[in-house]
């Protein structure tokens, strides 16, 4: 459903832009329409955690983890690992990061994630090796600045949603507000 795809992109953009109150509203709207997507529960958990709603955050991390564990691809394993980590299930996080790397050893963020989990469970030398591998991969293929990625995603989502729903809808108004605020804040950085 195109509405869900565009709304999800706007929700992810809010996280990239570190605008967690907006993200909370957008993810909740998304989950009303598409409740079985683990990434949306994970995104909601991140936003709730950032705005200080610990109980809501933990519940959303738990739901996301359950849904991620239904899949066996590298991305679901990686993000499931982060949900496990946030829930204090560090051994499970470590295992999920390892499984993700077995399937895709070239994704830098998974190496960083493994390094953090390895340190947390006392595997210091493995953690150092994983962080070293992360640094090598990042030098080879640097990430786009998160804020710039967020603005790009938000503009894409806005353009899609304008074709699908009324300009007067609360979601379009919210995205317009977030887009204006973000461009004012990060526009120079992202030229």
* Same-domain check for residues 103 and 153: no
Residue pLDDT, tens place only, 38-88: 999 999 999 999 999 999 999 999 999 999 999 999 999 999 999 999 999
What is the rounded CA–CA span in Å between residue 191 and residue 186?
9
Give how many domains the chain has, as a whole number.
2
Residue pLDDT, tens place only, 118-161: 999 999 999 999 999 999 999 999 888 999 999 999 999 999 99
In a domain, 167, yes or no: yes
* Same-domain check for residues 48 and 99: no
pTM over 0.75, yes/no: yes
What is the rounded CA–CA span in Å between residue 33 and residue 27?
10
pLDDT recorded at residue 167: 82
Using the predicted structure, report yes or no on whether residue 24 has a pLDDT greater than 90.
yes
Full residue range of the structural domain in which residue 108 is found: 88-143
* Same-domain check for residues 32 and 125: no
* Same-domain check for residues 168 and 129: no
* Same-domain check for residues 139 and 190: no
Q: Residue 99, CB half-sphere, CA atoms under 13 Å: how many?
A: 19
CA distances from 118 to 5, 74, 99, 138, 165 (A): 34, 18, 14, 19, 46
């Amino acid at each position: 459903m195109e509405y869900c795809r565009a709304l999800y992109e706007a929700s992810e953009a809010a996280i990239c832009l570190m605008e967690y109150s907006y993200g909370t509203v957008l993810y909740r709207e998304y989950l009303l329409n598409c409740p079985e997507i683990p990434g949306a529960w994970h995104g909601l958990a991140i936003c709730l955690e950032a705005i200080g709603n610990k109980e809501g955050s933990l519940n959303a991390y738990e739901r996301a983890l359950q849904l991620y564990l239904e899949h066996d691809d590298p991305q679901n394993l990686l993000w499931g690992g982060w949900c496990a980590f946030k829930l204090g299930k560090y051994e499970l996080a470590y295992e999920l990061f390892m499984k993700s790397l077995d399937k895709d050893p070239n994704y830098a963020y998974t190496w960083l994630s493994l390094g953090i989990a390895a340190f947390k469970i006392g595997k210091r030398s493995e953690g150092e090796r994983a962080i070293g591998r992360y640094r090598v991969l990042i030098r080879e293929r640097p990430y786009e600045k998160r804020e710039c990625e967020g603005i790009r995603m938000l503009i894409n989502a806005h353009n899609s949603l304008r074709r699908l729903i009324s300009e007067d809808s609360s979601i379009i108004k919210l995205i317009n507000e977030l887009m204006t605020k973000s461009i004012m804040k990060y526009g120079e950085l992202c030229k």
